[in-house]
Amino acid sequence: MRLQELGHAICKARFSRGLTQAALAAAAGVSRTTLNRLENGLFPDLGVKKLQALLAQVGLKLSLQPAIEPARPDFIRMACTTASVSYRSSLTEDELVRALLDGRIPAGKKPHFRTLLDEAPLPLLNGLLDEARRWTKAGRVEKNLDRIAREAGASRRIDKWLTTA
């Protein structure tokens, strides 16, 4: 489970309880900025105690369960591998996820994104898009991906692919 999934679950639970970010943050003892960044998938890391405090305030808890179902393909990892195959430095999973959620390409990674968007098989891009969509508002990842494609100079028609994905 990625931190982005937890942030999205906290956001949904907060809305269902009618809480504002400020109220939840105060009750859990974290800043509203921290909560906002967590809910938007942009917080790099959060301690277990802070996470447990937030979860408790919205009626959720963190638990470990044995993996019974077969693992889904990790489209984030596969996309990073595809994007990095021709380059000395690698595109990290955190860099990719952050870019999908905020629409900004990390410094020095434009070629990686151009390679990913131009050369990755469409099923991989569709899986990546589906995975990232689970962590944010509808349409946000598509908008950010279109922005990334234009900034990176991708030649694949992202706007057409996005309408069929």
Residue-range domains of the chain with CATH: 3-57 (1.10.260.40), 75-164 (no CATH)
Contact 133, 162 (CB under 8 A): no
Spatial distance between the Cα atoms of 54 and 46, rounded to a whole number of angstroms: 11
Residue 141: HSE in the Cβ half-sphere, 13 Å Cα cutoff: 24
In order along its 165 residues, the chain shows pLDDT tens digits of 677 778 888 888 888 989 899 998 999 988 999 888 888 877 767 788 888 888 888 898 887 777 666 677 889 999 999 999 989 999 999 899 989 999 999 999 999 999 999 999 989 999 999 988 888 888 889 999 999 999 999 988 776 666 665
Distance of CA 54 to the CA centre of its chain: 19
- Quote the tokens at residue 108: 């020095």
C-alpha torsion sign, points 139, 163, 75, 71? positive
